[in-house]
Amino acid sequence: MRTRGKLASTGLHTILVGASVIAVFPVAWVALTALKTERDTWSRPGELGTLGLDNFGQVLGDTQFATWFANSLLVAAGTTVLGVLIAATAGYAASRMRFPGQRPLMWTFLVTQMFPAAVLIVPLYNVMARLGLLDSYAGLILAQCTIAVPYCAWMLKGYFDTIPVSIDEAGRIDGLSPFGTFWRLIVPLARPGISVTVFYSFITAWGEVAFAGVFLQSEGHYTLPVGMATFVSDFKAEWGLLTAGSVLVMLPAAVVFFGVQRHLVAGLTAGGVKN
Amino acid sequence: MTTVTAATHAGVAPPPAPPRRALRTRLARHWYAWAMVAPVVLVITVLVLLPLARGIHLSLTDATELNSGRTIGVNEIPATYSFVGLDNYVEVLSGADGAFYPRLLWTVQWTVVCVTLHYGLGLGLALLLNRALRLRTLYRMLLILPWAVPPFVAAFGWRLILNEQGGVLNTLLGMAGVSAVDWLGEPLAAKVSVIMVNVWLGVPFMMVALLGGLQTVPRELYEAAEMDGASPWQRFRAVTLPGLRPVSGTVLLLGTIWTFNQFPVIALLTGGGPGGATNILVTEAYERAFQGIRDYAGAATYGAIIASMLVVFASFYRRWLQRHTGEVLG
């Protein structure tokens, strides 16, 4: 490789620094605004005012933020557990066995994975209303499973495909049933894949806006996106609370994210193309 | 799906049983697989297929909030909506509702512009990061940050930045001598804003995926191309792009689906406004169903149209996938 000229090197770093600034600035700005304690300093970007943690105290103490946080965790965890549990066996069967109905099944996974909430939201809303599941966590979890289940099944099938079939064969020779092979041999081996699936369906459910926005009706049941949207509306602009809440959401998300992101890309692209 | 195709072609599937004993043999042979997929089939049937059928039924009626059955206290009000055949589809597809074609056009523009920028910028950054470079890990971490931000949080943050009065973007522009722009209140500016935010959110995924793809392109190919006197541009065209094809296909597909369905950014940033200018089909359907007098039939019609567009798209994808896998295997 030839060495780069000084000019080229400077250009390279300039572009990367510029791009990094654009990537980081909005996040940094939200964090900075969260630290501004005086009301309405947010509307004067040039001023710093006094900095402090007042907004965080307020959002945790005086609003239902903590409840929404817990609600979001509950709904996301429920959706993930249900989705992954149900989808794992199907993903395995689709990966290892040939059976009639397999193609239509994979086809359904592929298509329903693409369905936006808008396609199902009206009929699901009517069904939930009839079953009395509106404004309940169970109803929201079921609704979010329409996104999670096909997605998890598709992604897990992709993972199981990467595990050599010879392992299954060894298990079968040792007298394990197909389910035993799956449960005792493949699941432990697929743990990295399963954890990425878990992570991804968790954050999808956790930030889901469309279903949560109409299915949840009382403030105490709101999830984070729905609840935090009430901080800034046509009638009020509590940007201090909103930004402090955003920071509290971003921090744990970012920590976990940076831990798994390398696997995440592999996981997301694995289901699509195999060679 | 690809392995399914591969395996069937490889002749793994057993020859079909004679018709008389077909069902019993099939049951005996396949009951295990069927049992393992049963929970998923049940869930998808109950939560996806039945609601979908119900949605298609609704789209053939004139159901709204006012004539749907509901229970108020102890009184049960029966549904009074009636079957109207394909009227809703005729109204939407003929353009009589005045919204469908503008929304469709904007949805296509939105998807194409966003995905192009995602891919172009992502590829550019990936190429830069793929070189021997000081501070590479730091750049990578910083550039990946937007992906770590949940979209709803990003939408809130950008609303703060884009605020007409006191938004930091207008302040910065003001310092550069540009007059304030009503980023979320003017149709064109609002369109630019939602695209900007979605691009900000989506580039890191492309960048990381393509960076991974770049690292799988064998170095020898570059060396050979260089020996043959290929210019950097020729090397990019002849080695890099073909080497990236499998990754590119997948990320472009994912990017297209995600952008087409991108609900949080538009709903939380502009709410589809001003005057519906930034509503893509997905948010338009949502708005019809849950704002003003709830137009369930209209929203269901939009939903059915969106779903059929996705089915068409998916079948093209499947065909592409099969051809593509064929190439890889052949």
What CATH number corresponds to the domain at position A191?
1.10.3720.10
Position B45 in a domain? no
Q: Do B261 and A116 touch (CB under 8 A)?
A: yes
The top-scoring range by mean pLDDT among A8-12, A20-24, B219-223 is A20-24
Residues in chain B with CB shorter than 8 Å from the CB of A151 are none
What's the pLDDT score for residue B179?
80
Show the CA angle centred on residue B110, arms to residues B109 and B113, nearest 5°: 75
The alpha carbon of residue A53 is apart from the nearest alpha carbon of chain B, in Å, by 18
B326 has a chain A CB within 8 A of its CB: no
Q: Is-cis flag, bond preceding B102, omega within 30?
A: no
pLDDT surpasses 90 at B106: yes
Q: What's the whole-number mean pLDDT along residues B157-175?
A: 84
d(CA A115, CA B258): 10
Domain that holds residue B164: 101-294
The top-scoring range by mean pLDDT among B8-17, B36-45, B70-79, B192-201 is B192-201
For A168-222, write each residue's pLDDT tens digit. Answer: 888 888 888 888 888 888 888 888 888 888 888 888 888 888 888 888 888 888 9
Residues in chain A with CB shorter than 8 Å from the CB of B37 are 89-90, 93-94, 99, 101, 105
The alpha carbon of residue A245 is apart from the nearest alpha carbon of chain B, in Å, by 9
What tokens appear for B146 in the block? Answer: 């937007």
Q: What's the whole-number mean pLDDT along residues A41-54?
A: 73
Q: Do A209 and B128 touch (CB under 8 A)?
A: no
For A62-120, write each residue's pLDDT tens digit. Answer: 888 899 999 999 999 999 999 998 899 999 998 888 888 888 888 888 888 777 777 88
Position A207 in a domain? yes
> What is the percentage of chain A residues whose pLDDT exceeds 90?
11
What's the pLDDT score for residue B248?
85
Q: Mean pLDDT for chain A?
A: 84
What's the pLDDT score for residue B122?
94
**Where does chain A have alpha helices with state H?**
6-35, 54-61, 65-96, 102-114, 117-131, 137-162, 165-173, 178-180, 187-189, 191-206, 210-215, 224-229, 239-270
The alpha carbon of residue B208 is apart from the nearest alpha carbon of chain A, in Å, by 7
Q: A74 with A208, same domain?
A: yes
Q: A51 with A82, same domain?
A: no
Q: Which of A149, A214, A253 sits opposite B290 (nearest CB)?
A: A214
**How many Cβ pairs closer than 8 A exist between chain A and B?**
303
Give the Å distances, CA to CA, from B170 to A18, A72, A179.
Answer: 19, 34, 61
What's the pLDDT score for residue B126?
92
Q: Which of A94, A149, A266 sits opposite B44 (nearest CB)?
A: A149
Q: Do B303 and A95 touch (CB under 8 A)?
A: no
Position A274 in a domain? no
d(CA B276, CA B284): 8
Q: Which of B4, B159, B296 sits opposite A102 (nearest CB)?
A: B4
Position A257 in a domain? no
Position B175 in a domain? yes
What's the pLDDT score for residue A4?
67
Q: What's the whole-number mean pLDDT along residues B16-45?
A: 78
Give kind and range of the element (H or E) at residue B77: strand B75-77
Position A249 in a domain? no
Q: A141 with A213, same domain?
A: yes
Q: Do B153 and A97 touch (CB under 8 A)?
A: no
d(CA B322, CA B328): 10
Interface test with B, best of A6, A107, A122 (most B CBs within 10 A): A122
pLDDT surpasses 80 at A20: yes
SS3 A167: helix
Q: Which of residues 64-93 of B touch A (CB under 8 A)?
A: 68, 70
Give the global pTM: 0.83
Kindly indicate the confidence band of residue B9, based on its pLDDT and cuts at 50, 70 and 90. very low
Kindly indicate the confidence band of residue B135, based on its pLDDT and cuts at 50, 70 and 90. confident
What CATH number corresponds to the domain at position B192?
1.10.3720.10
Backbone angles phi, psi at A232, to 5 degrees: -125, 110
Select from A15, A37, A55 the last residue of a domain: A55
Q: Which of A12, A87, A92 sits opposite B128 (nearest CB)?
A: A12
What's the pLDDT score for residue B108?
93
Contact between A213 and B264 under an 8 Å Cβ cutoff? The reply is: no
For B81-101, write each residue's pLDDT tens digit. Answer: 778 878 888 888 887 777 889
Q: Which value does ipTM take for this structure? A: 0.83
What's the pLDDT score for residue A21?
93
Q: Which of A12, A13, A269 sits opposite B247 (nearest CB)?
A: A269
Structure-model confidence comparison of residues B255 and A118, the more confident one: B255
Q: A140 with A50, same domain?
A: no
Report which DSSP code applies to A133.
Answer: -
Kindly indicate the confidence band of residue A141, based on its pLDDT and cuts at 50, 70 and 90. very high
What's the pLDDT score for residue B3?
41
Domain that holds residue A187: 64-230
> Among B35-44, B69-78, B278-287, where is mean pLDDT lowest?
B69-78
Q: Which of A13, A118, A246 sits opposite B285 (nearest CB)?
A: A118
What's the pLDDT score for residue B232?
86
pLDDT surpasses 60 at B329: no
Q: Do B129 and A129 touch (CB under 8 A)?
A: no
Q: What's the whole-number mean pLDDT along residues A163-172?
A: 88
> What is the percentage of chain B residues whose pLDDT exceeds 70?
88
Q: Is the dihedral of CA A166, A170, A172, A173 positive or negative?
A: positive
Q: A95 with A18, same domain?
A: no
pLDDT surpasses 50 at B10: no
Q: A145 with A41, same domain?
A: no
Q: Do B302 and A118 touch (CB under 8 A)?
A: yes
B201 has a chain A CB within 8 A of its CB: no
d(CA B23, CA B19): 8
Contact between B244 and B126 under an 8 Å Cβ cutoff? The reply is: no
Position B74 in a domain? no
Q: What's the whole-number mean pLDDT along residues B137-166?
A: 87
What is the number of structural domains in chain A? 2
Q: Do A126 and B250 touch (CB under 8 A)?
A: no
What's the pLDDT score for residue B107?
93
Q: Which of B47, B161, B209 sits opposite A145 (nearest CB)?
A: B47
What tokens appear for A194 in the block? Answer: 């399963």
What's the pLDDT score for residue B327?
44
Q: What's the whole-number mean pLDDT along residues A254-275?
A: 66
What's the pLDDT score for residue A33?
85
pLDDT surpasses 80 at B290: yes
